[in-house]
């Protein structure tokens, strides 16, 4: 969740209080985007991970993830979160098909599905997003790195992620057949 | 939306008032299930459609569709709605992969995506569900029919559906390569 | 099948005689690529179709399609056929996942699956390929056009295609949720 | 490759000599089927692996895999290989969609893609196949076992597989979100 989710007042945005109420009542729709660099044949060369302060208080590596707002399409939400987190020059390729490669179901209970969000029940539609341009991480992120596939799949990097996002990255690598 | 969504008081269920408040604030997570009969080679022989009173007041043919509750997994929601709408002997085959074949984004504005729900913004994760057992439609439905693929794809049956579900059925037929 | 498939002598290429012998014995692996222009949100704006002399002797509109050679990967075959048919500046985006959105099974018998190739049994792995650059159709094609989605899905354009490729285009439009 | 592929003389079958000639010229179409037991919610409970003599001379665990014959559909090939390898009572569920979850490209060169077949270049269309009935492995197999997901994903079982099939099993587990 970003500061802007709370502070802005455009339609679809909720006050912190309103969001807190909704969170106890319904699952929230999220998009999870795994940024990748592809070679000209479509093979994954790099996986992009943010370094950010997470909902659970840790400093963690993370994929691009954020809420789909009321009256917002999934495509608009992907574009909004990708350009905010990766900068205006990132040039992310939103996929032609709206079907996610998997769905990450985040529960407050960490043992439920392996995907965990202490704040809420979130249904994350997960996409692999080729990024063509230059990344300049947004204010919410401390850093951004392009990792090799081996690094992204490693136990060490996995331990630097929370909420099951290390597993989400491995599922993305499997989907693209780049899982070692 | 079923009567039971309003009346029940189990965790995850909302009062009519609460649900109304939430509906104006966030998109709701739905599952859309297109019931099919397959032959032994996996080819679609029949498409199952309910006849029911729809949110827009019409009597329409419809796929199995319903909300994912707070603290409920997508698989549990699919099972709950399928067994409620098709009866306890339907024996639906929930797919091994959680990825939907498409995502139907229903907006109050009918011109936004072609998927329309006058009550709310709903994100429908859509699945083709082979049904192996005997169907006995639940109390919310007036009837249930197994249509041929040609019937399900026809303009006539399409006109008996609302909210873009005729298009959802055609997308399901395309996914299974049974679109005429 | 292109002239170059017969004339070239690099490893993997077959003489016309050899190819003829193989064709009667095993299904051949093909890639079918539906070129599309996407907007920045990933929505299909245009569908690209070649105008070419087809195996059945007609002048038809066609997607990019060609054989996977011995010792050639699917990604290499996609790149080879796309750059040959759309020109060196086309900049096609080979997808990150190797899974096709559907498989078109072409049989000599036109009534078998709806996909038809009078020369052979071919298994076409079908992909939607975003094209970012400028298209200059290769020597095998008479022309190339970017059609609107409505045009590509129309009965009129469908009649200008053979072998079931009109249906393949509709399946691609359904996959991207741009089927009207 | 099964003995029957060589010995039988039905249309589509090749003599050993013919097959040998074809193998040097074109990639062969294969189906790879990962048998699974699902619970009523579609979650993978067990992964089925054969124990068999492999083309490379080892005794290995293996998924169901075999060639698609000339004039045979993918669905027919899946049914033929599944019922031959798992027995007539296995009751495999061929999926409603013809799209494989991944494509395993087997090359004679083991370092090419990670999928390896010393005899040939094969393009394996890979499917996760729920098996509902009782398995009685065919004559080509020495044994068949239902492994837990943890066992199937383990390094130990992985070492008992060849040609990259251990990786194919992990990709199948990722697709079904049961990868540990």
Residue percentage of chain C with pLDDT more than 70: 93
Question: Which residues between 35 and 54 in chain B have a beta carbon less than 8 angstroms from any beta carbon of chain A?
Answer: none
Mean pLDDT of chain D: 91
Q: Which domains does chain C have, with CATH numbers?
A: 28-175 (3.90.79.10)
CA–CA separation, D68 vs D53, rounded Å?
20
Q: What pLDDT is attached to residue B11? A: 54
pLDDT at B10 over 60: no
Mean pLDDT of chain B: 91
Q: What pLDDT is attached to residue C4? A: 40
Distance from CA of C50 to the nearest CA of B (A): 23
Question: Which residues between 90 and 109 in chain C have a beta carbon less than 8 angstroms from any beta carbon of chain B?
Answer: 102
**Tens of pLDDT along C88-97?**
999 999 999 9
Helices within B24-154 (DSSP H only): 74-86, 149-152
Q: What pLDDT is attached to residue A15? A: 81
pLDDT at B128 over 50: yes
Distance from CA of C76 to the nearest CA of A (A): 7
Average pLDDT, integer, range C25-31: 96
**Tens of pLDDT along C89-121?**
999 999 999 999 999 999 999 999 999 999 999
Q: What pLDDT is attached to residue D11? A: 55
Measured between beta carbons, which residues in chain B are less than 8 angstroms from residue D45?
none
Reported residue count of chain C is 180
pLDDT at B62 over 50: yes
Residue of D nearest to C99 (CA): D102
**Tens of pLDDT along C130-153?**
999 999 998 889 999 999 999 999
Q: What pLDDT is attached to residue A11? A: 54
Pick from C144, C135, C145: nearest CA to C89: C135
To test the contact with chain A by mutation, choose from C96, C101, C126, C129 the residue with the greatest count of A C-beta atoms within 10 A, namely C96
Distance from CA of B59 to the nearest CA of D (A): 29
Residue percentage of chain B with pLDDT more than 90: 79
Q: Which residues does residue A48 pair with via DSSP β-bridges, in sequence order?
A: A146
Q: What pLDDT is attached to residue A12? A: 64
Helix (H, G, I), strand (E, B) or coil at A174: helix
Average pLDDT, integer, range A43-56: 91
Distance from CA of A78 to the nearest CA of B (A): 14
Average pLDDT, integer, range C165-169: 97
Mean pLDDT of chain C: 91
Put simply, the answer to whether A76 touches C41 (Cβ < 8 Å) is: yes
To test the contact with chain C by mutation, choose from A97, A131, A174 the residue with the greatest count of C C-beta atoms within 10 A, namely A97
Residue B1 pLDDT class (50, 70, 90 cuts): very low
**What is the ipTM metric for this complex?**
0.91
Q: What pLDDT is attached to residue B53? A: 84
Residue D103 pLDDT class (50, 70, 90 cuts): very high
CA–CA separation, D166 vs D115, rounded Å?
10
Q: What pLDDT is attached to residue D6? A: 40
**Tens of pLDDT along C76-87?**
999 999 999 999
Q: Angle at Cα A95 formed by Cα A153 and Cα B165, nearest 5°?
A: 120
Residue A3 pLDDT class (50, 70, 90 cuts): very low
Q: Which residues does residue D36 pair with via DSSP β-bridges, in sequence order?
A: D47, D130
Tokens of B68: 């994912």
* C-beta of residue B46 within 8 angstroms of C-beta of residue B36: yes
Put simply, the answer to whether B174 touches C177 (Cβ < 8 Å) is: no
User: From the CB of residue B152, how many other CB atoms can be counted at a distance below 10 Å?
Assistant: 28
Put simply, the answer to whether C170 touches B177 (Cβ < 8 Å) is: no
DSSP D70-119: TT--HHHHHHHHHHHHH-TT--B---SS---SEEEEEBSSTTSSS-B-TT
Put simply, the answer to whether A44 touches C75 (Cβ < 8 Å) is: no
Helices (H) and strands (E) in chain D, counts: 6, 7
pLDDT at D55 over 60: yes
Average pLDDT, integer, range D82-98: 97
Residue C85 burial (C-beta neighbours within 10 Å; 0-12, 13-18, 19+): buried
Element (H, E) at D144: strand D141-148
To test the contact with chain D by mutation, choose from C12, C70, C72, C105 the residue with the greatest count of D C-beta atoms within 10 A, namely C70
Average pLDDT, integer, range A42-48: 98
Q: What pLDDT is attached to residue B3? A: 39
């Amino acid at each position: 969740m970003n500061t802007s989710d709370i502070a802005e007042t455009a339609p679809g945005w909720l006050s912190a209080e309103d969001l807190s109420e909704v969170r106890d009542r319904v699952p929230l729709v999220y998009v999870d985007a795994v940024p990748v660099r592809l070679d000209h044949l479509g093979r994954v060369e790099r996986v992009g991970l943010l370094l950010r302060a997470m909902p659970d208080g840790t400093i963690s590596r993370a994929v691009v993830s954020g809420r789909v707002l009321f009256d917002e399409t999934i495509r608009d939400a992907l574009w909004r979160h990708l350009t905010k987190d990766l900068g205006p020059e990132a040039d992310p390729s939103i996929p032609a098909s709206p079907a996610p490669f998997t769905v990450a179901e985040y529960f407050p209970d960490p043992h439920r599905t392996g995907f965990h969000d202490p704040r809420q029940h979130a249904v994350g539609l997960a996409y692999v997003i080729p990024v063509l341009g230059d990344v300049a991480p947004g204010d919410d992120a401390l850093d951004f790195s392009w990792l090799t596939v081996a690094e992204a799949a490693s136990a060490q990097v996995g331990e630097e992620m929370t909420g099951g996002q290390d597993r989400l990255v491995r599922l993305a690598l499997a989907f693209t057949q780049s899982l070692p």
